[in-house]
Amino acid sequence: MDDPAIQAALEAVKRNEANFTDEQIRICQIAAPPFHEEVRAQELERLFQGLGLKDVRIDKTGNVIGTRPGASAHPNLLFQAHLDTVFPEGTDVHVTRDGTVLKGPGIGDDCRGLVVVLGVIKALNDANVKTAGTITFAADVGEEGLGDLRGTKALFSDTLKGQIDKFISVDGTGLSITNAGVGSYRYRVEFKGPGGHSFGAFGMANPIQAMGRAIAKIDNFDVPKDPKTTFNVGRVGGGTSVNAIPFECWMEVDMRSADKDSLETLHGKFKAAIQEAVNEENRRWTARGSVSADPKLVGYRPPGSTPADSAIVITALAVSKIFGFKGSPGEGSTDANVPMNLGIPAITIGGGGRGTGAHALDETFDTKDDYVGTQRALVLAVALAR
C-alpha cells in the first residue's frame, strides 16, 4: 500500500469509476443469454484490445482471453468475470438509472465483475504498474445454470491447460470472499415399462410406482450437516391417464456439497437407490413385463475448496481488511469451483457496490462507493501476481 505506483493506480480507479459505470450499463444492454454470449464476447475482445492486452483472442468455447505480461511469466494469475446471464433470448435488457442505483437484468451478476476486470487493467496501465508475475484476464462463458461452468472448464482443460498458478473470479457485488466451491450433480431419470390398462393389465410393473420407491429411498438418505450436503427431487412428470399403467415417467434430482467425498458418497447412494427401486418393483410384479430406469447426468459442477489457512485466502482477507471487509470467507458455486477441484489456489470475490435481486429481472446495483471493490481487486491481483 506504500508503493507510489499502487497509490497512483488506486487514484486512477477512483477517477475512472464514473466511466466504468457507463460501461457497465452499456455491456449489460448487450444481451448474453445462456449459450449465446457471442455478441458480448466480441465487445469484450474489442475492449481488451483497446486496453493493450497481449494475445487477445476468443477460444473455441467462446471465452475472451488477454494477457498483461509481468516481469516474469509466473506466477500466472487468471483474473476473470463471466459473460453470461440467466436470462433467455428476447429478455428486455434495458438498464434504468435512478440516482446511484442502476436497474436491469444482469447489472450486478456479472456486468459488475466485467467492469472490475476492465477497471483493474485500465488503472494498472494508467499508473504504469509492473507486476512481478503475469496476469491473464478473461471474460468467460457458461457460468450460470446449465452452462455448467463450461467456459472455465475449457480454460483449465484446454485453452490455458497447465499455465495457471492462481485464480480469482469477480462475481457479483459486495466485498465477499468465497473459498469453498459447492459442487453438484444433476440428473434426469427416466423410468420405462410396457404400460397397459389399469384393470386389464393389472399385475404389470409400474414405472411411476418404481419411481415412488426411488423417491422414498432418496428421502431417507442421511447426509452430513458439515460440510453441508443436500439432495432434492425437484420435478417429476409422466403417465398418460388415471386408468392406464404408465409406460414412462421422469424425475429431476439435484445433489450438492463442497466436499468431494460427501458428494461422491451421496452420488453413489443415489445410483444404488434407483437400481434397488427398479429391482423391488420388478420382484413385486413378475407377471407382465418389467420396468427399467435410465439416469442421465444433465449437470455437473466439480466441488472443491481453498483452505482458509492458504496463502491466497490469507492475502485476500488481509487486502480486504484494508478496504473495510469484516466478514469471513464463505461457500458458493462459481467458476472458482473448477480450479479448486484441481488443487489450484482459487477464490471468488464480489465486485464492490451493493446488489439486490441477482437472477431476477429487477436486479439492481447501487454504485455508491463501488470503486472500493475495484481498488480491492487491483491490490489483490498485484499481491497474488508475485
Instruction: Write down the least CB distance from residue 105 to Zn ion, Å.
Output: 12
Backbone angles phi, psi at 197, to 5 degrees: -70, 140
Part of the chain binding Zn ion (CB under 5 A), chosen from 7-15, 110-118, 159-167, 258-266: 110-118
Scanning residues 189 to 208, which ones bind Zn ion (CB under 5 A)?
none
- Alpha-carbon gap, residue 382 to 357, rounded angstroms: 31
Instruction: Write down the least CB distance from residue 67 to Zn ion, Å.
Output: 24
Instruction: Write down the least CB distance from residue 248 to Zn ion, Å.
Output: 36
Instruction: Write down the least CB distance from residue 372 to Zn ion, Å.
Output: 20
Select the residue interacting with Zn ion from 37, 43, 84, 109 (CB under 5 A).
Answer: 109
Q: Which is nearer to Zn ion, 82 or 186 (CB)?
A: 82
Q: Which helix (H) or strand (E) holds 102?
A: strand 101-103
Decide: helix, strand or coil at residue 381. Answer: helix
Instruction: Write down the least CB distance from residue 298 to Zn ion, Å.
Output: 20
Size of interface with Zn ion, in residues (CB under 5 A): 3
Cell matching residue 66:
488477454
Residue pointed to by grid coordinates 436486479: 363
- Alpha-carbon gap, residue 158 to 216, rounded angstroms: 41
Binding mask 4-43 for Zn ion (x = CB under 5 A): ----------------------------------------
Cα–Cα distances in angstroms (integers) from residue 326 to residues 23, 317, 318, 321, 322, in the given order? 29, 9, 10, 6, 10
> Are the CB atoms for 155 and 78 separated by under 8 Å?
yes
| By the rule CB under 5 A, 110 interacts with Zn ion | yes
User: Do the strands 101-103 and 364-366 form a parallel or antiparallel pair, or are they unpaired?
Assistant: antiparallel
Q: Which is nearer to Zn ion, 177 or 253 (CB)?
A: 177
Q: Which is nearer to Zn ion, 83 or 378 (CB)?
A: 83
| By the rule CB under 5 A, 363 interacts with Zn ion | no
- Alpha-carbon gap, residue 175 to 328, rounded angstroms: 10
- Alpha-carbon gap, residue 356 to 333, rounded angstroms: 18
- Closest C-alpha among 143, 184, 169, 39 to residue 359: 143
Instruction: Write down the least CB distance from residue 331 to Zn ion, Å.
Output: 15
Instruction: Write down the least CB distance from residue 110 to Zn ion, Å.
Output: 4
Decide: helix, strand or coil at residue 235. Answer: strand
Instruction: Write down the least CB distance from residue 64 to Zn ion, Å.
Output: 16
| By the rule CB under 5 A, 370 interacts with Zn ion | no
Scanning residues 131 to 190, which ones bind Zn ion (CB under 5 A)?
171
Q: Which is nearer to Zn ion, 23 or 110 (CB)?
A: 110
* Beta strand ranges found along 20-63 (DSSP E): 54-58
Q: Which is nearer to Zn ion, 59 or 171 (CB)?
A: 171
227: preceding bond cis by omega (within 30 degrees): yes
- Alpha-carbon gap, residue 385 to 122, rounded angstroms: 17
Q: Which is nearer to Zn ion, 193 or 350 (CB)?
A: 350
Cβ-Cβ contacts under 8 Å for 9 (sequence gap 6 or more): 123, 124, 126, 127, 129, 378, 382
Q: Which is nearer to Zn ion, 9 or 141 (CB)?
A: 141
Part of the chain binding Zn ion (CB under 5 A), chosen from 24-32, 102-110, 290-298, 344-352: 102-110
Q: Which is nearer to Zn ion, 111 or 277 (CB)?
A: 111
Scanning residues 233 to 272, which ones bind Zn ion (CB under 5 A)?
none
Instruction: Write down the least CB distance from residue 83 to Zn ion, Å.
Output: 10
C-beta neighbour count of 283 within 10 angstroms: 10
75: preceding bond cis by omega (within 30 degrees): yes
Cell matching residue 209:
410406482
Q: Which is nearer to Zn ion, 109 or 363 (CB)?
A: 109
Part of the chain binding Zn ion (CB under 5 A), chosen from 104-112, 117-125, 175-183, 349-357: 104-112
Instruction: Write down the least CB distance from residue 80 to Zn ion, Å.
Output: 11
Part of the chain binding Zn ion (CB under 5 A), chosen from 19-27, 101-109, 217-225, 229-237: 101-109
Could you say which DSSP state residue 157 is in?
A: I
Binding-site ranges for Zn ion (CB under 5 A): 109-110, 171
